[in-house]
Amino acid sequence: MLDPLANIPRAKRGGTAPQTQKQDQMPRIVMKFGGTSVANLDRIRDVAQRVKREVDAGNQVAVVLSAMAGTTNQLVGWCQALAPLHDAREYDTVVATGEQVTTGLLAIALQEIGIEARSWQGWQIPIRTDNAHGKARILSIDGADLIARMGRRQVAVVSGFQGLAPDNRIATLGRGGSDTSAVALAAALKADRCDIYTDVDGIYTTDPRIVPQARKLAKISYEEMLELASVGAKVLQSRSVELAMNERVRVQVLSSFEDKPGTLVVDEDEIVEKEIVSGIAYARDEAKITLRRVADRPGIAATIFGKLAEENINVDMIVQNISADGTTDMTFTIGKTDLPRTHAALLAIREQVGWTDVLEDPNVAKISVVGVGMRSHAGVANTMFRALADKAINIQVISTSEIKVSVLIGAEYTELAVRALHTAYGLDAA
Ligand code: ASP
Ligand code: MG
C-alpha cells in the first residue's frame, strides 16, 4: 500500500517545477469538475473535449468528478425524509451514488471521441478513509495501478467525495469533498498540477457581487486561501486547501465554461510580488454573545469555553476586559446555527461562572482583510480602522493573526465596509 500523504518526499511534491520533477515523463495532471460542470449530457461532452485537449497536448490525465448539480442535495433529502437520525453508513451508500453516475458517463463520452478511459469508484482504487461516516478523512490512496495505466495513455475518471472505510463500507468526505479527493489524488499521483474547474473563473480580491471592481488574482498562497476559504469565500473546501498546503500540491481554480487561466494556489515562495492585502472576505454566519459581569478569577474562561467545547460549539473571536469591581464582561462569537445550544450551555454554568445577563446578537458580520505581506508591514490594521471610521461604522470586536485582521460590525454595514476596505487597500481595478 502506497501512502501518498506520508511517503512522498517534500522535495518531490507538486511544489517543485515540473521539469525537475519528471524529466523523462509526460506531465501528469488531475482535472476536477464540479456539479455545474457535469450538470447534463451536453456539459459532460464539453468536459470530455477539455480532457481530450489535455491528452492531445501530451499530458497524463486523471479526472475527478462531482455528482450532477443538485443530485447530492436530493440524495441527502431522501435520507432525511425517511429518518432524521439515519444510519450514517447507509447515508454514505446513498449519497455516494451521484458520482458513480457522472464518472461512468464521462468515461463513455471520452470513449466516444476516441480517448481510452475508465471509471474508478473510491473502493476500487482504493481511496482509504477513516471510519467517520458522512465526514470521513482520506488516509491513503494506492496510486500504483492508476499511474501504470495513465502511462499507457488511459484516462482515469475517479469519483470524488468517496472512499473505502476500515469497516469495508463506502464512506463520504463531507459536502464539497470532491475538491479534497482531487487534491489527495494529485498528491498520490505526484501530479504536476491539480486543476479545479468550477463555475467561477478564479479567486477574486473580494466578492465581485459586492465590489464590481474586484480583480481576479493570478496567484494566491495556500495560507491566504485558507483564511479566505474559512471566512466566507466558498470556492474550495477548506480541507482541500489544508491538504494542498501540507502536500505542496499546486492547485489552479478555473472556469469550466471559458478558456482562460484561473488563479494558482501555491506556496508563498512562488509569489514574487507579495501583496500586503490580497483579499477582503466577509461572513454573516456568526452571532455575538456577551456575558455580563462574569467573576474575574482564574478558571472562569476555562469553564465557559470548556463547556462550549464539550458541546462541540466552535468559538471564533473572544474578548475580555479588565474591571475594577471583580467582575468582567466576556464577549465571543459562535456560528449562528449554534445559538440555541449555546444558550442552553451557558445557562447550565451560570452558577459556576456567576454571570448576570447574557446578550445575544445574531445581527453581525465579520469582515477580514488577508495578506501574507502583513507580516512585514506595519499599519495594516490602522488602515482598516480608519476606513471604517470614515464611513461611521462601529467596530464591536477585533481579532488578528499573522496574516489577517478581522472585525465584527453590524450586519447592515457589510457591503459598505467591504467596498470601503477594497478601495482603502488599493485593490480596485483601474
Ligand atoms: N457531490 C458532493 C456534494 O455535493 C461532493 C462535491 O460536489 O464536492 O457535496
Ligand atoms: Mg464544490
Domain-located, residue 4: no
CATH number at residue 24: 3.40.1160.10
* 100 and 81 together in one domain: yes
- Tell me the best of 64, 71, 72, 240 to mutate to test the pocket of ligand 1, counting ligand atoms within 8 Å of each CB and taking the most: 72
Please name which ligand lies nearest the alpha carbon of 181: 1
Domain-located, residue 300: yes
Contact (CB, 8 A) for 58 and 26? yes
Domain-located, residue 2: no
* 267 and 278 together in one domain: no
* 221 and 363 together in one domain: no
Domain-located, residue 5: no
State pLDDT tens for residues 272-288.
877 789 999 999 999 99
Domain-located, residue 1: no
Intervals of the chain under pLDDT 50: 1-23
Choosing from 272, 296, 318, the residue where a domain stops is 272
Contact (CB, 8 A) for 319 and 407? no
Q: What angle do CA 349, 354, 357 make, to 5 degrees?
A: 90
Closest-CA residue, ligand 1 atom 9, reads 175
* 282 and 311 together in one domain: yes
* 251 and 295 together in one domain: no
66 within ligand 1 shell (Cβ under 6 A): yes
Domain encompassing residue 208: 10-272
Choosing from 272, 306, 328, the residue where a domain stops is 272
* 210 and 319 together in one domain: no
State pLDDT tens for residues 349-368.
999 898 999 999 999 999 99
* 235 and 280 together in one domain: no
Number of domains in the chain: 2
Please state the atom number of ligand 1 nearest to the C-alpha of residue 161: 5
Q: Amino acid letter at 373?
A: G
98 within ligand 1 shell (Cβ under 6 A): yes
Domain-located, residue 91: yes
* 204 and 283 together in one domain: no
Give the cell for residue 154. Answer: 488511459
68 within ligand 1 shell (Cβ under 6 A): no
pLDDT at residue 272, as a whole number? 80
CATH number at residue 339: 3.30.2130.10
Domain-located, residue 282: yes
Return d(Cα 182, Cα 158) in angstroms, integer: 9
Domain-located, residue 3: no
Q: What is the DSSP string of 341-362?
A: HHHHHHHHTHHHH--SEEEEE-
122 within ligand 1 shell (Cβ under 6 A): no
Return d(Cα 417, Cα 206) in angstroms, integer: 12
* 321 and 234 together in one domain: no
| 18 Cβ neighbours under 8 A, 6+ residues apart | 27, 192, 193
* 188 and 335 together in one domain: no
* 252 and 387 together in one domain: no
* 259 and 314 together in one domain: no
Grid look-up 482541500 returns 240
Choosing from 272, 289, 319, the residue where a domain stops is 272
67 within ligand 1 shell (Cβ under 6 A): yes
pLDDT at residue 281, as a whole number? 93
For ligand 2, a single-atom ion, the residues with CB < 5 A are 34, 176
Contact (CB, 8 A) for 124 and 144? no
